[in-house]
């Protein structure tokens, strides 16, 4: 999601100042603060808040930090935690400069507000996505820690009667070495956090050579809670007097309720409070969710076909939509497409070539299938404000849209961002795909707090899909069998142009072709183009976005070309990367990690025939290379080992990186082996994990990770591990079976054992 900030998501109307909320109330209501603990340092008297309004995001220390008497540091993170470890990373970065052990941190997601729009180069913008969090906030969060440390030192100077220059810190304490006296941060906080924040330019940051926590495998802060069921997700939110709601959505987006034939019977069902007609959905509110769900399922609705044109940002699902037929249509899409990248003159070279290698590849729609079904709790308060507990990757955007839905000022909406039970792009602002508009409408209608949970079946019906792409490749080789020209024409729609509309100036959606574009191989003539075909489906971001499919498409065809030229695909990559030190090192690193490149096929110790495949990708500012070892068992692809070398430039937490690569490998394998969101007659074939299998434990290979720190500018980590996985597997399978795997998922193809 490289350039999300510029052109992709609708920017919210932001209120400017900090949100008008009772911080104390907020703190006590939220999960991390111990009830009754003395809240210090966060009281912002109105006058001073105004006086400091012009402060740059990420510098108003009290908006981020609370230091409790016991020295515990509560940090409000600009980025939401959904498994990627960002809370821990934030604690490491801030703790490093604050001089406080990350283990003493309690981290929660920050409310909306300009203070938290810290992403470098993206003013006024805040999302958790695009593997952007750490790399775009690294400098700001370090500075924040340093500013806080400076304030603590100033306060200590006053209390100790010693000049700041004589003071130093050790974790959690300010020390006056000369007198042997020291004060804990907890003691200093009340005074310190009342001081004006120093000039951000005035603080010096720690020399990276002296880092104690950054670059260390610091333990994650959320692991214990998550191992004991104490972690609270949106689906778990509870407030007093709350009712539960379940919905039955129209089978196709755009349809509306005609009548509910059995509405009276539904009302009479056990536990039912009320039945509601919402846009495109029947909702049942009940004392318990199970009762609501049963009644919602029982609703016999005459759904009306949509009338008129869809609202902006909404697509009416046609009654005859079939993904297989749509794929075939993409295959036949006419034209050469609009150019996304060009080098040399590929069309000419291909036109004159004697032999042209051509192939058409296909990547399907896929679902997010995060394990937590979407849920939102909405509560209107007596003062007319709205509290919203909503899974989200962008609090300010949700605040703005929720305000619109509720008909109140954004400043009167408090957005609580609980831990996400997986996200992978699922929780951006997709109003037709998220339950918060329903929760708001229902809470308003019944005058009590309402929590809406979508059943897994409703989730599969309304989830937004990763786009489908059909890509036509042509390539030709020189006399030595080296690629001379390569053309990739992809018929697809990018997720951003699907969400926000096509660019008025005709700029293409870079996410449509990223991964076909931006390849580092020295091929003299290259043309990458997109044939824009609007999808009838709602589209969204999926982990690794365009890269999740395009690197599969490109890197698999790359192997076809290598084979055509009689070249070993690993050696060919090395050769075409000559002079590119970073990628050469990376490719060698993964080769070494796997015990030296060997393509096979060979017979393994257990007697199975195996082969290996290699692939590379350059996603989200990082570089990755994977090697996969596969066999075929009973016609099914078995991945035994997956080696990945990943270079994010520089790192914060190697343990988290290794875990994230494991996670990305699992999702990448799940995609290449199993996943496909199919529609027939305008409806999804799968409405649960029964018909949409995701990677089960027995198909998880051993994963070997080597983190390479090239020192290049810091790249992302959450997504970059994924894109090279599917093509590495597909290339291994193609080589082993002699049958080109040109589409995902491989379960759609049949292989001989």
* CB of 688 vs ligand FES, minimal distance in Å: 9
Interaction of residue 46 with other proteins, rule CB under 8 A: no
Contact between residue 460 and residue 686 where contact means Cβ atoms under 8 Å apart: yes
Residues 335-374 that bind ligand FES (CB under 6 A): 371
Best CA proximity match to 387, nearest among 358, 356, 408, 364: 408
Instruction: Locate the DSSP E strands across 90-186.
Output: 105-109, 167-170, 173-176, 181-184
Interaction of residue 422 with ligand FES, rule CB under 6 A: yes
CB nearer to ligand FES: pick between 83 and 619:
83
* CB of 400 vs ligand FES, minimal distance in Å: 29
Whole-number Cα distances in Å, 538 to 99, 435, 461, 696? 47, 16, 11, 27
Residue 356: half-sphere exposure toward Cβ, Cα within 13 Å: 16
* CB of 371 vs ligand FES, minimal distance in Å: 4
| The binder of other proteins chosen from 404, 456, 575, 598 (CB under 8 A) | 456
Interacting span for other proteins (CB under 8 A) from 147-155, 200-208, 453-461, 468-476? 453-461
Instruction: Look up tokens 């214990």; give the residue.
Output: 224
| The binder of other proteins chosen from 688, 713, 739, 748 (CB under 8 A) | 688
CB nearer to ligand FES: pick between 420 and 587:
420
* CB of 117 vs other proteins, minimal distance in Å: 25
Q: What CA–CA distance (Å, rounded) separates 248 from 682?
A: 16
Q: What CA–CA distance (Å, rounded) separates 664 from 674?
A: 15
Cis peptide, bond prior to residue 385, ω within 30 of zero: no
Interaction of residue 329 with ligand FES, rule CB under 6 A: no
| Contact map string, positions 213 to 242, toward ligand FES, x by CB under 6 A | ------------------------------
Residues 1-30 that bind ligand FES (CB under 6 A): none
- Cβ neighbours of residue 352 closer than 8 Å, sequence gap 6 or more: none
Residue 406, binding choice from other proteins, ligand FES, none, Cβ under 5 to 8 Å by partner class? none
Residue 696, binding choice from ligand FES, other proteins, none, Cβ under 5 to 8 Å by partner class? other proteins
* CB of 706 vs ligand FES, minimal distance in Å: 23
Rg (CA), the chain: 27
Contact between residue 456 and residue 688 where contact means Cβ atoms under 8 Å apart: yes
* CB of 213 vs other proteins, minimal distance in Å: 16
Residues in the chain: 753
Residues 369-428 that bind other proteins (CB under 8 A): 369-373, 419-424
Q: What CA–CA distance (Å, rounded) separates 730 from 742?
A: 8
Best CA proximity match to 527, nearest among 488, 568, 475, 579: 488
CB nearer to ligand FES: pick between 113 and 701:
701
Residue 636, binding choice from other proteins, ligand FES, none, Cβ under 5 to 8 Å by partner class? other proteins
Q: What CA–CA distance (Å, rounded) separates 410 from 430?
A: 18
* CB of 9 vs ligand FES, minimal distance in Å: 25
How many residues make contact with ligand FES (CB under 6 A)?
A: 3
* CB of 83 vs ligand FES, minimal distance in Å: 5
| Contact map string, positions 475 to 514, toward ligand FES, x by CB under 6 A | ----------------------------------------
Pairing outcome for strands 525-532 and 483-492: parallel
Q: What CA–CA distance (Å, rounded) separates 97 from 198?
A: 15
Residues 348-377 that bind other proteins (CB under 8 A): 369-373
Residues 607-666 that bind other proteins (CB under 8 A): 634-636, 655, 659, 662-666
CB nearer to ligand FES: pick between 182 and 370:
370
Contact between residue 688 and residue 463 where contact means Cβ atoms under 8 Å apart: no
| Contact map string, positions 457 to 496, toward other proteins, x by CB under 8 A | x---------------------------------------
Residue 224, binding choice from other proteins, ligand FES, none, Cβ under 5 to 8 Å by partner class? other proteins
Residues 492-511 that bind other proteins (CB under 8 A): none
Instruction: Look up tokens 């100077």; give the residue.
Output: 157
Residue 290, binding choice from ligand FES, other proteins, none, Cβ under 5 to 8 Å by partner class? other proteins
- Read off the tokens for 623: 């570089």
- Read off the tokens for 353: 């070539």
Interaction of residue 44 with other proteins, rule CB under 8 A: no
Helix (H, G, I), strand (E, B) or coil at 484: strand
| The binder of other proteins chosen from 240, 354, 606, 690 (CB under 8 A) | 690
CB nearer to ligand FES: pick between 14 and 375:
375
Specify the DSSP element, H or E, that contains 188. helix 185-192
* CB of 615 vs ligand FES, minimal distance in Å: 26
| The binder of other proteins chosen from 51, 158, 178, 223 (CB under 8 A) | 223
Residue 655, binding choice from ligand FES, other proteins, none, Cβ under 5 to 8 Å by partner class? other proteins
CB nearer to other proteins: pick between 456 and 588:
456
Residue 695, binding choice from ligand FES, other proteins, none, Cβ under 5 to 8 Å by partner class? other proteins
Contact between residue 435 and residue 384 where contact means Cβ atoms under 8 Å apart: no
| The binder of other proteins chosen from 93, 191, 453, 587 (CB under 8 A) | 453
Q: Which residue is nearest to ligand FES (CB)?
A: 371
Measured torsion, CA atoms of residues 636, 639, 640, 642, in degrees rounded to the nearest 10: 180
Contact between residue 519 and residue 554 where contact means Cβ atoms under 8 Å apart: yes
CB nearer to other proteins: pick between 39 and 231:
231
Residues 192-221 that bind other proteins (CB under 8 A): 219-220
Best CA proximity match to 546, nearest among 468, 599, 489: 468
| The binder of other proteins chosen from 262, 564, 585, 650 (CB under 8 A) | 262
Q: What CA–CA distance (Å, rounded) separates 509 from 22?
A: 41
CB nearer to other proteins: pick between 201 and 698:
698
Helix (H, G, I), strand (E, B) or coil at 541: coil
Helix (H, G, I), strand (E, B) or coil at 660: helix
Residues 53-92 that bind other proteins (CB under 8 A): 82-85
Specify the DSSP element, H or E, that contains 134. helix 133-160
Best CA proximity match to 190, nearest among 36, 33, 40: 40
How many residues make contact with other proteins (CB under 8 A)?
A: 79
Contact between residue 509 and residue 469 where contact means Cβ atoms under 8 Å apart: no
Interaction of residue 693 with other proteins, rule CB under 8 A: yes
Residues 66-95 that bind ligand FES (CB under 6 A): 83
The 3-class secondary structure across 380-446, one letter per residue, is ECCCCCEEEECCCCCHHHHHHHHHHHHCCCHHHEEEECCECCCCCCCCCCCHHHCCHHHHHHHHHHH
CB nearer to other proteins: pick between 333 and 655:
655
Task: Provide the binding-site residues for ligand FES, judged by CB under 6 A.
Answer: 83, 371, 422
């Amino acid at each position: 999601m490289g350039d999300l900030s510029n052109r992709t998501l609708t920017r919210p109307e932001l209120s400017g100042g900090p949100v008008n909320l009772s911080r104390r109330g907020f703190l006590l209501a939220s999960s991390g603060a111990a009830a009754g603990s003395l809240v210090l340092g966060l009281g912002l008297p109105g006058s001073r808040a105004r006086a400091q309004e012009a402060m740059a995001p990420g510098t108003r220390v009290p908006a981020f930090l609370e230091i409790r008497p016991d020295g515990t540091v509560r940090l409000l993170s600009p980025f939401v935690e959904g498994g990627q470890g960002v809370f821990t990373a934030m604690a490491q970065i801030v703790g490093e400069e604050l001089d406080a052990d990350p283990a003493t941190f309690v981290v929660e997601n920050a409310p909306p507000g300009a203070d938290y729009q810290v992403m470098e180069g993206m003013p006024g913008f805040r999302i958790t996505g695009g593997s952007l969090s750490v790399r775009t906030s690294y400098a700001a969060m370090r500075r924040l820690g340093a500013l806080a440390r400076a304030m603590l030192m100033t306060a200590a100077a006053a209390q100790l009667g010693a000049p700041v220059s004589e003071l130093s810190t050790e974790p959690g304490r300010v020390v006056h070495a000369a007198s042997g006296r020291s004060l804990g941060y907890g003691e200093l906080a009340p005074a310190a956090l009342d001081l004006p924040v120093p000039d951000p330019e005035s603080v010096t940051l720690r020399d990276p050579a002296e880092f104690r926590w950054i670059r260390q495998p610091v333990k994650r802060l959320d692991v214990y809670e998550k191992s004991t069921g104490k972690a609270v997700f949106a689906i778990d939110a509870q407030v007093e007097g709350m009712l539960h709601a379940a919905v039955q959505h129209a089978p196709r987006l755009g349809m509306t309720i005609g009548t509910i034939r059995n509405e009276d019977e539904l009302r009479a069902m056990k536990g039912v409070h009320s039945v509601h007609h919402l846009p495109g959905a029947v909702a049942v509110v009940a004392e318990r969710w199970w009762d609501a769900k049963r009644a919602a399922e029982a609703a016999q609705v005459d759904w009306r076909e949509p009338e008129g044109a869809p609202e902006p940002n909404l697509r009416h699902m046609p009654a005859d939509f079939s993904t297989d037929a749509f794929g075939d249509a993409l295959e036949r899409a006419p034209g050469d497409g609009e150019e996304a990248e060009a080098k040399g003159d590929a069309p000419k070279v291909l036109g004159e070539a004697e032999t042209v290698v051509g192939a058409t590849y296909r990547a399907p729609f896929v679902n997010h299938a995060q394990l937590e079904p979407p849920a939102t709790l909405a509560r209107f308060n007596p003062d007319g404000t709205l509290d919203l507990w909503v899974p989200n990757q962008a609090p300010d955007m949700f605040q703005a849209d929720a305000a619109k839905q509720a008909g109140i000022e954004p400043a009167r909406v408090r957005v609580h961002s609980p831990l996400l039970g997986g996200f992978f792009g699922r929780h951006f602002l997709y109003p037709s795909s998220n339950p918060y508009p329903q929760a708001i409408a229902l809470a308003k209608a019944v005058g009590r707090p309402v929590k809406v949970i979508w059943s897994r079946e409703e989730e599969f019906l309304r989830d937004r899909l990763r786009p489908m792409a059909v890509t036509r490749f042509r390539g030709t080789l020189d006399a030595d069998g080296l690629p001379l020209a390569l053309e990739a024409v992809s018929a697809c729609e990018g997720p951003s142009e699907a969400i926000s509309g096509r660019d008025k100036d005709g700029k293409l959606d870079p996410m449509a072709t990223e991964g076909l574009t931006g390849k580092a191989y020295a091929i003299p003539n290259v043309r990458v183009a997109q044939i824009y075909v609007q999808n009838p489906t709602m589209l969204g971001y999926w982990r690794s976005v365009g890269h999740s499919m395009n690197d599969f498409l490109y890197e698999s065809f790359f192997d076809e070309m290598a084979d055509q030229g009689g070249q070993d695909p690993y050696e060919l990559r090395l050769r075409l990367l000559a002079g590119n030190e970073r990628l050469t090192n990376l490719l060698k690193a993964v080769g070494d990690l796997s015990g030296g490149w060997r393509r096979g096929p060979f017979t393994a110790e257990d007697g199975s025939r195996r082969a290996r495949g290699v692939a590379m990708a350059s996603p989200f500012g990082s570089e990755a290379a994977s090697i996969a070892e596969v066999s075929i068992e009973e016609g099914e692809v078995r991945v035994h080992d997956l080696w990945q070398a990943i270079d994010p430039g520089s790192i914060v937490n190697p343990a988290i990186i290794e875990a994230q690569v494991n996670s990305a490998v699992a999702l990448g394998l799940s995609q290449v082996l199993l996943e496909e969101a199919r529609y027939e007659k305008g409806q999804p074939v799968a409405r649960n994990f029964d018909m949409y299998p995701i990677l089960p434990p027995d198909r998880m290979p051993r994963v070997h990770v080597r983190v390479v720190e090239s020192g290049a500018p810091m790249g992302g980590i959450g997504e970059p591990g994924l894109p090279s996985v599917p093509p590495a597997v597909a290339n291994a399978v193609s080589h082993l079976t002699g049958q080109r795997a040109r589409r995902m998922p491989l379960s759609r193809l049949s292989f001989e054992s």
